[in-house]
Structure 1
Amino acid sequence: MDRYSKYSKKFSLLILVLTFFYIVQVINILYCPAEIKIAKGENKSIDVLFPFSLNALHDEDSIVQSTYNQSSTNGFKRSYQIDGIEPGEAKFQLKFLGIIPIKKLDVNVVKRQLLVPGGNALGVRLNTKGVLVVAVTDVLGVDGRRYSPAKEAGIKTGDSILEVNNIKVKDAEHVIELLNQVQDKKVKIIVERNKMKFETEVIPIKSMQDNCYRLGIWVRDKTAGIGTLTFYDEDSRVFGALGHGITDMDTGNLLNVEYGKITHAKIANVEQGKRGSPGEIRGIFYETENVLGEITKNSSYGIFGLITDDFIRTNKIKPIPIGFKEEIKEGKAYILTTIDNNKIEKFEINILKTQSQQYPNQKSMTVKITDKKLLEKTGGIVQGMSGSPIIQDGKLIGAITHVFVNDPTKGYGIYIEWMLEQVLPNYETKQKFANNFN
């Protein structure tokens, strides 16, 4: 009886261990990515533990070919190899005991994009669409009374004023000119807020300060700064930079771009980053000199546009393949950036952590600067390095986006796929994008 009880306890313990093990596997399966990318002509192995199996939902041999590799079977583990034949989508399903569906898996076969990595220091100049309202204030009228015309008209900080009396606004001076033509008559204003336009009416007030007619707003129509080129595509001339959007310093809103330029920037000096105080690369650039390209889009994941043919002809860097987010590993990588003598240099980093992301995010991976030369020069990641391309195993995998204020040796990077989605959806519309801006 004691022997039976002893074996019964061991058997029960074994059942509990196996049950726990398979619960963990089910949780891992449920939280694993529902989509896998495979480059055309390449393959990917997927390991599945018994009693789970992987089955194709349809006969899609023209897109992928899947094989169960018996020779690689190790105990409870089954290995499946999926070969990418032609661009397209194939659907698979993970099943329990070959019967109970657990999870669907989309396998997308895509052409692996070839991009030229950047690292060039850029001067960035943006002109907003209309003017951006950065503050709403009172106007002291010539009669000594205070008025709030903009506030009464429903205009708020962060709004963009696009038109005054059906005339497209060019800049801040143009707004003043148009208001002084109307004077104290009611004026129609077209405002954009959160990408939605609406119309309002307001009567300008003559200011005691300068005898000009005003609405009671402070506005901004342009911004400039230093950043880093991430990539460009030789065929379409599309470029991407920064890895994050350009926002207004007062409102925090993403600037609505009318037009902009990127130019060569000359590094003047570098302020080292320290704990609690981010450093900065300071550069000099001129709007009309050394123009590299036109900015056509300012998104949360970078600035984008068209690079000049002259730059493509003179640039000696060769294109390299991109790395899909599923391929990125924790460990060594390097960045390309410019910190001295206008020379692009390679600096070692360590990828500390990668995030499993189904939707675009600026903070895709955590990185640490390990290169001694870069640490001595900058202290780590500094402002102006945003957009520096990250390369691992010969593939362009992302760009530097942010620095940790309390540890400038560390920061965040964005997956290159999130940047590409802004301009090259599915990596198949390069020419279409280029044609839109020609």
Structure 2
Amino acid sequence: MKSAFKKGGLIFAGLLLTIILVGQLTEAPQNDAASVDVVSERVLVPGGHSVGVRMDVKGVLIVGLEEIETADGERINPGIKAGLQIGDMILEINGTKVYKASEVQEVVNEIRGDVNLKVKRKEDTLNIRLTPVLAKEDGLYKLGVWVKDKTAGIGTLTYYDPVSQSFGALGHAIVDPETGSVLSVDKGQLLQAQVQSIQEGEVGTPGEIRGVFYEAESPLGGLEKNTSYGIFGNAYHPIENTLYDKPLVVGTQDQVEKGKAYILTTLDDNKLQRFEIEIERIDHQKEPSDKGMIIQVTDERLLEKSGGIVQGMSGSPIIQNDRIIGAVTHVFVNNPQKGYGIFIEWMLQEAAS
């Protein structure tokens, strides 16, 4: 699975409420000065590390519907007949929770009759009654659905919070490429990844970071949430950034300026690097969106290596004036040198919700 998903001429560049901590009151020198509040700004360790995401989907996702041929030669699609749709998530069959694709067929063939499905469709939970069909091909009862229960991909870490030991990555959701549905996390892990090669982006064809990750190596953390504004979880141990010896302050969208900034990302030398970009447009927002800034890659090193922004770079932190202000989320399909960025405040808000 690739964490990329094409939509409206854009493609996700992969697989925040500003939080200000108020310190204790301190007394100013007593030469006619009043006591003042000392405000401690939140700080984060910037990411840029290439990471693997392995995720078990909560429930079983329907990615296709098919006709079943019966013993008498009739072709029936029981799923469509009952009203199932691609993108539906099967949670229970006759009250039995199902977590794996293999469990669906096992439960259905134990029942050998009508089944009641508990299904999640976007934000709604539905109860659907369905009559399975006995297939001529193998003699098994079937619902007429293709299902999946796992997904994996490569992306980029955005930040690590040294206080809460939490992390955020991608800046957008992991979606199912067949359905476009945001996948609900049952359990998952953030893993160390090694970039193998870079497919350069061209006009009309987004590039791609190709990498591998190893289950045997120590995972970076546990995945808790997959949302429209990033994936979030808790790290198993501190995560360091080789380019910065201390955390950076979080920048609000009001502190973002047009002009020079940087992104941190990892290419096929597997070395975390900083590349110059230009922030061309800022859309100040009252509601969360993953398209808060338009950025353009100006660093010749990155342009020569990848052509600009490619899939797998989503989550690359955007740094300006030594503040973390956001993350890369999309690349323009018709101009891989440009893309969108999300404000870091929306990621932090989503992580805290």
CA 1:295/1:231 → structure 2, altered by over 3 Å: closer, same or farther? same
1:196 aligns with 2:121: no
Q: What is the CA deviation profile of residues 182-234 of structure 1, one whole-angstrom value per residue up to 9, with x for unaligned ones?
A: 12x12221111122212222221111122221101111211111100000111
Moved more, 412-421 or 210-219: 210-219
Q: Name the counterpart of 1:180.
A: 109
CA contact (8 A) 1:332 1:350 kept: yes
Q: Could you tell me which residue of structure 1 aligns to residue 175 of structure 2?
A: 247
Does residue 161 (structure 1) correspond to residue 93 (structure 2)? The answer is: no
Q: Which moved more, 1:329-338 or 1:312-321?
A: 312-321
Note if contact 2:45-2:241 (Cα within 8 Å) is conserved in structure 1.
Answer: no
Alignment counterpart, residue 398 of structure 1, candidates 304, 310, 326: 326
Q: Which residue of 1 aligns with 2:7?
A: none
Partner of 1:126: 55
TM score, norm. by length of structure 1: 0.70
Q: Relative contact order (alpha carbons < 8 A, sep ≥ 6): 1 or 2 greater?
A: 2
Amino acid at match of 1:364: G
Change (3 A) 1:221 1:139: same
Task: Say which of 280, 283, 300 aligns to 1:352.
Answer: 280
1:263 aligns with 2:191: yes
- 1:162/1:190 contact within 8 Å kept: yes
The answer to whether the 8 A contact 1:237-1:306 is kept is: yes
- Which of 132, 139, 143 is the matching residue for 2:72? 143
Aligned residue number for residue 297 of structure 1: 225
Runs of 5+ consecutive residues of structure 1 not aligned to the other structure: 1-35, 42-61, 63-84, 88-109, 426-438
Tell me the TM-score normalized by structure 2: 0.87
**Superposition deviation, residue 332 in structure 1:** 0.6
Report if aligned partners of 2:63, 2:147 keep a CA contact under 8 Å in 1: yes
Match of residue 114 from structure 1: 43
C-alpha distance in 1, partners of 2:152/2:311? 13
Identity, % of aligned positions:
48
Return closer, same or farther for 1:166/1:38 CA change in 2, 3 Å cut-off: closer
> CA-to-partner distance for each residue in 1:131-151, whole Å, 9 max, x for gaps?
111122221112211222222
Query: Structure 2 unaligned runs (5+)?
Result: 1-16, 26-35
In the alignment, the residues of structure 2 paired with residue 407 and residue 312 of structure 1 have an alpha-carbon distance, to the nearest angstrom, of 33
- State the Cα distance separating 1:235 from its structure 2 match: 1.7
Alpha-carbon separation, structure 1, partners of 2:18 and 2:317: 21
TM-superposition CA deviations, 1:367-398 (whole Å, max 9, x none): 11111111111110000000000000010000
SS of the counterpart of 1:309?
Answer: coil
Q: Does 1:343 align with 2:271?
A: yes
| Cα gap change, 1:134 to 1:37, in 2 (>3 Å) | closer
For residues 34-433 of structure 1, the aligned pairs below 5 Å read 86=37, 111-183=40-112, 185-309=113-237, 311=239, 317-424=245-352
Give the Cα–Cα distance (whole angstroms) in 2 for the partners of residues 288 and 416 of structure 1: 32
> Structure 2 vs 1, CA of residues 122 and 313 (structure 1 numbering), >3 Å: closer, same or farther?
closer
Report if aligned partners of 1:271, 1:378 keep a CA contact under 8 Å in 2: yes
Paired residues in the alignment total 327
Query: AA paired with 1:199?
Result: N
Aligned residues: CA RMSD: 2.5
Give the counterpart letter for 2:336 in structure 1.
P
